[in-house]
C-alpha cells in the first residue's frame, strides 16, 4: 500500500519561524505614517500592536525562535499532515504527483491559528487585556477567539456584514470561544457610523471592518488591534507550515516543481511558499503561484503603490498591490479573499518575478471544490477552492505536456461552515462576474495623491 499521509512526529515541529526579509532581493519599502507620509517608526505602531510584534514586523533576522508557550499550543493540532492526492491524480489521469498540506485540522478549521496563537501570546506577555480585530468569512475571527481563550484575553470581532449574514455558524464558534462578534459596518464606531450614513445597505468590506477594529483598539491603552493577514509578522508566523512541508516532502523523497496557494491578504500562501521562495532565490526552478478571485484581482490588476490598509485611512500606508482602499468587491462566497490589498512581502515578490499571480472565476473554483470533495473526500473552504482549481489546471497541463511534475498545494481550510455556498453552487444560484475596469479606476483615483514606492506601477 502506498503512503497517503506523511506525518511528522511532534519532536519535528519547527522551533523557529523563517523570516524572508533576510533573503529578499529587493528590500521592503517602509510603512508610512498615515498623517505625515514619513516612515512610521515603532512608536507610531505602539498604540495598536504590542512591541514584540512590532519588532518582528521590521526584523531582518533570518530565523526567529518560537517561544516554548507557543510550541506547546501548536501541538494541539501541529504538525499537520501532508497528503498525497492519489484519487484526484487518478481522476484527472495525470502523471503529476499532487500533494496537499492540510491546514484544516486546526480547531478553527484553517491556517489562521498559526499566527493567532503567536499574537495572543505576545499580547498576553505585553499586558494587553482585550484584542480587537476584523474578520471576513469568519475564519480569522474564530481563530483569534480560540487563541484568546487559551491565553485568557478578551476578544472583540467586527465581521464583514455580508459574511455575518451568510455564515452564522462562524459567529457562534466565536461566541463559544468567548468572543464578542458584531456585523460591520456597525453603529459602535465612528468609522462604521460614517459608512452607514452614506450607504445603510453596505455589505461591508475588510477595509471597513479594519477601520472599526483599529478605532476600538486605540480607544483604551489596555486594548490592542490584531490583523490576521497582510503584515510581515503574520507571514512570519505562518512559515511553520512551509517548514513542516519541506521536511515532509523530504520524507517522501520529492521536491515541488509547482507550489500553489490562494491569496486574500497573502498569509496562508506565504506560510506555505516562503521557505520555497528562499530556495528559488538560491537557484531552484519552482513555479510559485498565488491564486486570487477575478472579482478582487489585487495582484493581477491592481498597481504596486502605497495605500492604506483600511477604508477610513487610519492605518499606516503600505507598499503593496492594491485596488484602492475604497474598493468594495462583489459579495462572492470566498469572503476571506475580498481584501483590496496584498501583503507587502507577497507584493514585492510578485514585482521581483519570484511569485506568479493568477486570477480565477468563482464557478471554476466551486467546480474544483466538488471534484476534490468527490475524489479526496475533504470539503474545502471557498477560499481554498481557488488553490484547488489551479492545482487541477496545473495537473492537466502536466498531462498535456507528459511531465511528471510534483505539485504542492496549500489546503488552507475546510468548508464545513460554508455549506450554504456549496448549496448555492449546486442549485445553480452562482455566476461568474466580470469586473469592470471602471470600478477599479474609480477606487484607484483616490490613491493617486499618496506617496509612491520606488517601483510604482500605477
294 CA to centre of own chain: 17
Indicate which single residue of 137, 173, 291, 305 sits in contact with ligand PLP (rule: CB under 6 A): 137
Secondary structure (3-state) at 392: helix
N-terminal to C-terminal alpha carbon distance within the chain: 54
- Footprint (CB under 6 A) of ligand PLP, residues 93-132: 110
Minimal distance in Å, beta carbon 67 to ligand PLP? 23
408 touches 109 (CB < 8 A): no
- The C-alpha cell at 408 is 504542492
Indicate which single residue of 277, 381, 388, 435 sits in contact with ligand PLP (rule: CB under 6 A): 381
188 touches 195 (CB < 8 A): no
Instruction: Tell me the torsion sign for CA atoms 439, 421, 388, 101.
Output: positive
Task: Spell out, one character per residue from 211 to 250, where the chain touches ligand PLP: x when CB under 6 A holds, - when not.
Answer: ------------------x---------------------
118 touches 426 (CB < 8 A): no
Containing H/E element for 175? helix 168-176
Q: Is 383 in the site for ligand PLP (CB under 6 A)?
A: yes
Task: Spell out, one character per residue from 324 to 343, where the chain touches ligand PLP: x when CB under 6 A holds, - when not.
Answer: ------------xx------
Q: Is 163 in the site for ligand PLP (CB under 6 A)?
A: no
Report the candidate in 307, 346, 276, 314 with the shortest Cα–Cα distance to residue 18.
Answer: 276
Secondary structure (3-state) at 85: coil
- The C-alpha cell at 406 is 510534483
Looking at beta carbons only, is 94 or 109 nearer to ligand PLP? Answer: 109
- Cα–Cα distance between 62 and 320 in angstroms, integer? 22
- Cα–Cα distance between 211 and 178 in angstroms, integer? 23
104 touches 118 (CB < 8 A): no
Q: Is 413 in the site for ligand PLP (CB under 6 A)?
A: yes
Q: Is 262 in the site for ligand PLP (CB under 6 A)?
A: yes
Minimal distance in Å, beta carbon 57 to ligand PLP? 16
Indicate which single residue of 139, 149, 322, 326 sits in contact with ligand PLP (rule: CB under 6 A): 139
Indicate which single residue of 295, 313, 315, 384 sits in contact with ligand PLP (rule: CB under 6 A): 384
Single out the segment in contact with ligand PLP by CB under 6 A; choices: 76-84, 113-121, 217-225, 264-272.
264-272
Single out the segment in contact with ligand PLP by CB under 6 A; choices: 29-37, 261-269, 302-310, 312-320.
261-269
Q: Is 390 in the site for ligand PLP (CB under 6 A)?
A: no
**Residues lying near ligand PLP in the complex (CB under 6 A):** 110, 136-137, 139-140, 229, 262-269, 336-337, 381, 383-384, 412-413
Amino acid at each position: 500500500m502506498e503512503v497517503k499521509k506523511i506525518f511528522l512526529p511532534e519532536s519535528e515541529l519547527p522551533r523557529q519561524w523563517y523570516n524572508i526579509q533576510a533573503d529578499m532581493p529587493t528590500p521592503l519599502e517602509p510603512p508610512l505614517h498615515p498623517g505625515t507620509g514619513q516612515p512610521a517608526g515603532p512608536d507610531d505602531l505602539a498604540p495598536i500592536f504590542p512591541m514584540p510584534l512590532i519588532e518582528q514586523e521590521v526584523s531582518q533576522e533570518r530565523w526567529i525562535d518560537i517561544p516554548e508557550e507557543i510550541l506547546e499550543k501548536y501541538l494541539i493540532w501541529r504538525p499537520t499532515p501532508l497528503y498525497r492526492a492519489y484519487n484526484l491524480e487518478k481522476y484527472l489521469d495525470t502523471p503529476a504527483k499532487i500533494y496537499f498540506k492540510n491546514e484544516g485540522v486546526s480547531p478553527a478549521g484553517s491556517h489562521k491559528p498559526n499566527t493567532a496563537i503567536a499574537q495572543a501570546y505576545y499580547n498576553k506577555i505585553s499586558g494587553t487585556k482585550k484584542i480587537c480585530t476584523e474578520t471576513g468569512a469568519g475564519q480569522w475571527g474564530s481563530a483569534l477567539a480560540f487563541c484568546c481563550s487559551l491565553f485568557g484575553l478578551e476578544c472583540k470581532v467586527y465581521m464583514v456584514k455580508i459574511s455575518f449574514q451568510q455564515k452564522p455558524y462562524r459567529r457562534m464558534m466565536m461566541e463559544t470561544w468567548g468572543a464578542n462578534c458584531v456585523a460591520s459596518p456597525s453603529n459602535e464606531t465612528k468609522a462604521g457610523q460614517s459608512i452607514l450614513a452614506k450607504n445603510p445597505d453596505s455589505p461591508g468590506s475588510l477595509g471597513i471592518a479594519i477601520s472599526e477594529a483599529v478605532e476600538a483598539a486605540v480607544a483604551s491603552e489596555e486594548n490592542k488591534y490584531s490583523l490576521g493577514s497582510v503584515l510581515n509578522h503574520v507571514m512570519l508566523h505562518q512559515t511553520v507550515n512551509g517548514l513542516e512541508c519541506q521536511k515532509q516532502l523530504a520524507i517522501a523523497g520529492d521536491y515541488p516543481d509547482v507550489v500553489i496557494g490562494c491569496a486574500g491578504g497573502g498569509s496562508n500562501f506565504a506560510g506555505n511558499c516562503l521557505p520555497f521562495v528562499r530556495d528559488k532565490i538560491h537557484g531552484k526552478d519552482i513555479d510559485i503561484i498565488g491564486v486570487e478571485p477575478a472579482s478582487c484581482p489585487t495582484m493581477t490588476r491592481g498597481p504596486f503603490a502605497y495605500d492604506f490598509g483600511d477604508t477610513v485611512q487610519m492605518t499606516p500606508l503600505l507598499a503593496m498591490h492594491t485596488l484602492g482602499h475604497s474598493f468594495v468587491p462583489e459579495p462572492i462566497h470566498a469572503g476571506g479573499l475580498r481584501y483590496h490589498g496584498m501583503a507587502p512581502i507577497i507584493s514585492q515578490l510578485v514585482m521581483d518575478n519570484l511569485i506568479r499571480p493568477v486570477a480565477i472565476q468563482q464557478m471554476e473554483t466551486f467546480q474544483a471544490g466538488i471534484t476534490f470533495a468527490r475524489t479526496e473526500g475533504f470539503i474545502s473552504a471557498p477560499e481554498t477552492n481557488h488553490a484547488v482549481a489551479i492545482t487541477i489546471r496545473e495537473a492537466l497541463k502536466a498531462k498535456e505536456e507528459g511531465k511528471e511534475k510534483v505539485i504542492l498545494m496549500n489546503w488552507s481550510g475546510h468548508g464545513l461552515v460554508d455549506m450554504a455556498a456549496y448549496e448555492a453552487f449546486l442549485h445553480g444560484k452562482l455566476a461568474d462576474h466580470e469586473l469592470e475596469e471602471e470600478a477599479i479606476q474609480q477606487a484607484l483615483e483616490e490613491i493617486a495623491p499618496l506617496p509612491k514606492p520606488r517601483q510604482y506601477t500605477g
